[in-house]
A and B are shown apart, each in its own frame.
Chain A
Amino acid sequence: MSLRTETGPYFGDFGGRFVPESLIAALDELDEAWQLAKLDPAFHDELDGLLRDYVGRPSPLTEVRRFAEHAGGARVFLKREDLNHTGSHKINNVLGQALLTKRVGKTRVIAETGAGQHGVATATAAALFGLECVIYMGEVDTERQALNVARMRLLGAEVIPVTHGSRTLKDAINEAMRDWVTNVGHTNYIFGTVAGPHPFPAMVRDLQKVIGEEARAQMLERTGTLPTAVAACVGGGSNAIGIFHAFLDDADVALYGFEAGGEGVDTERHAATIGKGRPGVLHGARSYLLQDEDGQTIESHSISAGLDYPGVGPEHSWLADVGRARYRASTDAAAMDALRLLSRTEGIIPAIESAHALAGALELGRELGPEASILVNLSGRGDKDMETAAKWFELIDGEEGA
């Protein structure tokens, strides 16, 4: 049975629509527009044209030999989503949803953002299509990703720092939902990951699966065979599902998602949702969730703003439950080491989010041995993270740290 044909609203026991009734009509409208767009060659022509001429797809596949020396001798290949316009995989999804916004005749878009990459991508598309744009971002994240705040503002978006709750991605989503409930008549919510109520998990997956489709063909062309394993970081899970999806029915290809282990999954400071959470309802879907006994969401922690989220997309919860994908965690320290290693061995500075997948690949390589080949989704570039990295490695005033 194919695992690639799931269309939602449910993925096994996960997914659905747990939202105020006020949003159901908008979700239905979006779902309908998406179903029609999927069947419309004109939509695909327009989207494919943008992905090619504006984003720069297909993104390259880069073999990283010097980095791989640290990965037990396995071959390591990076899918270069960092080279996309705006610097991450987020733009793939946003352009699709921005085209959809035009199709449903709305003039204003809103989005949540953690690392700022989805916000930058949304602000970019809004500029391109002449849409009014408001981005909600947790106050903590506006501080650690200040460069991206400036980028969004330069692109003409309004950035609203969210000061409630944990002041990170989860609260930005709450605030964006409140805006949407209020302004749904003329506003479309461009959701940034494969979480949220139906149709977002399936729609965002469909818009990101191009990553894996390209990478699968590139691996076959480059190596004559499929990779032993595919590795991606998991926040909400869009870059991971994007690269996994084409491989779901290739039973011999192992799929690994790397969640943010923060200060360690046995501490209270991590974002290992699948690893340490249990099923519950958050942000419109049933999925794994970090929560206390009463079902109150527990604040997550990660050095990476884009992975600092106590929920995860429902399709990942399902893939974990059926055993098709495995989910592990990379700690802050392991991710930062991998970030520096890739920078020094290959001249590629990855996003801290993506560095979690790189740390995972180092571990997998040592386990799988020199015969293995590992495909890593390099979901974004690290420019936005220079301040965090500079602090971590003490790069600015004096000697480098540990």
Chain B
Amino acid sequence: MSVGETIDARVAAGTGALVGYLPVGFPSLGASVDAAVALVENGVDALELGIPYSDPVMDGPVIQDATQAALANGFRLAHGFEAVRAIRAQVDAPVLMMTYWNPVVQYGVDRFADDLAAAGGAGLITPDLVPDEGDAWLAASDRTGLDRVFLAAPSSSDARLALTVEASRGFVYAVSTMGITGARADVDRAARELVERLRTAGSPRSCVGVGISTAEQVREVVSYADGAIVGSALVKALADGGVEGVAALAAELARGTRPTG
């Protein structure tokens, strides 16, 4: 199933989707694959696989530390495609790559798209690429059929939301709050309003990310959005408790997607 179909199926079932982020290569390439598989086995509906990058301006300290460790361990872009392939061989959930733009540019936008598609990847989430700069990627994703998830922020104008909705495929990533990744005590009311504005702008699906760390927050988010994206909390669980620890958190978060009772 595609990302869109996966989310739609969950929404139709009255739950909403849970999207889990983990970086490739942390704590090792093998363990990152095992952890991603464990997420799916414990109720995560779609994966967002982060490509470690030297200058991750959208990321808070937890993800920075993990991705810097992966780079120090010798992460190469080829490992990203290997990881997608290895995960897809074990579980059926759609796998999106989350990557800053320069690695894609250097690899070659078309080559990157081809290799991602060949590995069984679903598409890209691009935190520092806005649709305005995305011509090459729009063309490559149209050619390969890959999804492209652009970000929308509470500060985005209506005109920009329309542009983002138009350019996105799969879902729109609604940034919950003004800020970078990292667990937060409460997810902004801004998220609810943004999702509503995205719907008005014609977005078929919005998932809310940044700051979500508990089952309670997931439950709240899926009450108004199509899905909830959890990153730093999972990375921290993996760092602290290994694959078992992250699996346990995933199971707990997945309970948040189901209606209470």
Query: A residues 163-180 with Cβ under 8 Å of B?
Result: 164-165, 170-171, 174, 177-178
Taking a contact as CB atoms closer than 8 A, the residue among B102, B127, B130 that contacts A24 in the complex is: B130
Stretch at the interface among B42-50, B85-93, B147-155, B233-241: B147-155
Are A181 and B180 in contact, CB atoms less than 8 angstroms apart? yes
Q: Which of B57, B60, B164 has the most CB of A within 10 A?
A: B57
B58 neighbours in A (Cβ, 8 Å): 20, 178, 181
The residues of A that contact B64 with a CB separation of less than 8 Å are 164
Whether A182 touches B179, Cβ cut-off 8 Å, given contacts A22-B155, A174-B57, A297-B55, is yes
**B106 and A182: CB pair below 8 A?**
no
Quick check: A24 and B179 within 8 Å, CB to CB? no
B73 at the interface (CB under 8 A from A): no
Given A17-B132, A21-B153, A182-B180, decide whether A296 and B175 contact each other with a Cβ distance below 8 A: no
Check if B102 sits within 8 Å of A16, measured CB to CB: no
Among residues 69 to 121 in chain B, which have CB atoms less than 8 Å away from a CB atom of chain A?
Answer: 71, 76-77, 101-107
List which A288-305 residues lie within 8 A (CB) of chain B: 289, 291, 293-297
Closest A-chain residue to B56, C-beta based?
A174
Chain B residues, Cβ within 8 Å of A281: 101-102, 105, 128
Contact B105 A295 (CB under 8 A): yes
User: Most B CB atoms within 10 A — which of A20, A177, A297?
Assistant: A20
Which of A17, A174, A177, A296 has the largest count of B CB atoms less than 10 A from its CB?
A: A296
Contacts of B68 in A (CB 8 A): 164-165
Q: Could you say which of B55, B60, B130, B156 contacts A165, with CB atoms under 8 Å apart?
A: B55
B187 to chain A, nearest CB (A): 14
Question: B105: shortest Cβ distance to chain A, in Å?
Answer: 6
Size category, B interface: 35 or more
**B151 with A20: CB separation less than 8 A:** yes
A21:B130 contact, CB within 8 angstroms: yes
Q: Please judge, given known A-B contacts A182-B180, A282-B55, whether A294 and B106 are in contact too, CB under 8 Å.
A: yes
Partner of B55, one of A20, A174, A293: A174
- Quick check: A280 and B102 within 8 Å, CB to CB? yes
Residue from the list A17, A164, A294 in contact with B107, Cβ < 8 A: A294
A contact residues around B129 at 8 Å (CB): 18
Interface residues of B in 111-169 (CB under 8 A from A): 127-130, 132-133, 150-157, 160, 164
The listed residue with most B CB atoms (<10 A of its CB), out of A18, A164, A293, is A18
Within 8 A of B (CB), among A18-73: 18-22, 24-26, 28
Is B55 touching A26 in the complex (CB atoms < 8 A)?
no
For the complex, give the distance between the alpha carbons of A26 and B68 in Å.
29
Cα A184 to Cα B179 with chains together (Å): 9
* Total number of A residues with any Cβ neighbor in B under 8 Å: 35
Contact present for B160 and A24 (CB under 8 Å): yes
List, in ascending order, chain B residues with CB within 8 A of A182's CB: 178-180
| Complex Cα spacing A17 to B129, Å | 8
Q: CB of A185 within 8 A of chain B?
A: yes
Q: Which of A16, A20, A183 contacts B57 (CB 8 A)?
A: A20
A14 CB to nearest chain B CB (Å): 12
Q: Are B57 and A293 in contact (CB under 8 A)?
A: no
Instruction: Check B21 for interface membership: any CB of A closer than 8 A.
Output: no
* A22 touching B133, Cβ below 8 Å: no
Q: Are A22 and B175 in contact (CB under 8 A)?
A: yes
Q: In the assembled complex, which residues on chain A have CB atoms less than 8 Å from the CB atom of B178?
A: 22, 181-185
Complex-state Cα separation, A20 to B179, whole angstroms: 10
From the candidates A18, A20, A25, A294, name the one contacting B77 in the complex (CB within 8 A): A294
Ordered by A's residue number, 27 sampled pairs between the chains whose C-beta atoms are within 8 Å are A18-B101, A18-B129, A18-B133, A19-B128, A20-B58, A21-B130, A21-B151, A22-B153, A22-B178, A25-B155, A25-B160, A170-B55, A177-B57, A178-B58, A178-B180, A181-B58, A181-B179, A181-B180, A182-B178, A183-B178, A184-B178, A280-B102, A280-B106, A289-B102, A295-B77, A296-B54, A297-B55
Chain B interface residues toward A at CB < 8 A? 53-58, 60-61, 64, 68, 71, 76-77, 101-107, 127-130, 132-133, 150-157, 160, 164, 175, 178-180
Q: Which 9 A-B pairs have the closest CB atoms?
A: A295-B106, A25-B155, A22-B153, A182-B179, A295-B103, A295-B102, A297-B54, A281-B102, A296-B54
